[in-house]
């Protein structure tokens, strides 16, 4: 039996966002990059950060283009895909995360001593908005609810 899984989950800050483009087929595409702090520092005191290149298509690309700017926290899921091209007779491999799911991430409110430790600008909601490229699967049951023994 063969087991294959290609799933990437990341959470960081948008470090670079390209322009939303429409390709000749009419589909929209957005290339962007996310900086993910790995939580470690080097000997010289610099934080270790990984920069992840991402590609989003269609409505997800439009959503990211509209709502996420440089520095905005982002949670995302997708699959890894490596493409190969030749640049000046040198083969170049580029690995991107092809986004299938994206969500806002809200920073903790800053402590404000004038309001008793609570932020004066508390969001009205949790600040989490989810956008998934594919619709949620429909769950079908093989039984009627009245047939349940409980």
Q: Are strands 47-57 and 90-104 parallel, antiparallel or unpaired?
A: parallel
For the segment 77-95, the average pLDDT, to the nearest whole number, is 95
Nearest to 98 by CA among 130, 66, 67, 52: 52
Distance CA 116, CA 137 (A): 45
The answer to whether residue 96 scores a pLDDT higher than 50 is yes
Q: In the chain, what are the domain boundaries?
A: 8-134
Indicate the pLDDT class of residue 39, thresholds 50, 70 and 90. confident
Instruction: State the pLDDT at residue 150.
Output: 46
Ordered alpha helix ranges (H), the chain: 58-67
Instruction: State the pLDDT at residue 111.
Output: 61
H or E element that contains 49: strand 47-57
The answer to whether residue 40 scores a pLDDT higher than 50 is yes
CATH node for 8-134: 2.40.50.140
Q: For residue 67, what are its two tokens? A: 């709502």
């Amino acid at each position: 039996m063969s087991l294959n899984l290609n799933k990437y989950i990341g959470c960081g800050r948008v470090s670079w966002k390209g322009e939303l483009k429409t390709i000749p087929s009419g589909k929209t595409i957005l290339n962007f990059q996310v900086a993910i702090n790995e939580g470690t520092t080097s000997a010289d005191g610099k934080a270790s950060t990984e920069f992840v290149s991402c590609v989003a298509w269609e409505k997800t690309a439009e959503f990211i283009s509209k709502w996420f700017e440089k520095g905005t926290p982002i949670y995302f899921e997708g699959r890894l895909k490596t493409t190969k091209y030749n640049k000046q007779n040198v083969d170049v491999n580029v690995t991107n995360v092809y986004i299938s799911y994206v969500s806002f991430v809200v920073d903790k409110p800053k402590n404000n001593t004038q309001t008793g430790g609570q932020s004066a600008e508390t969001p009205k909601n949790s600040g989490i908005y989810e956008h998934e490229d594919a619709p949620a699967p429909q769950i079908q049951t093989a039984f009627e609810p009245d047939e349940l023994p409980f």
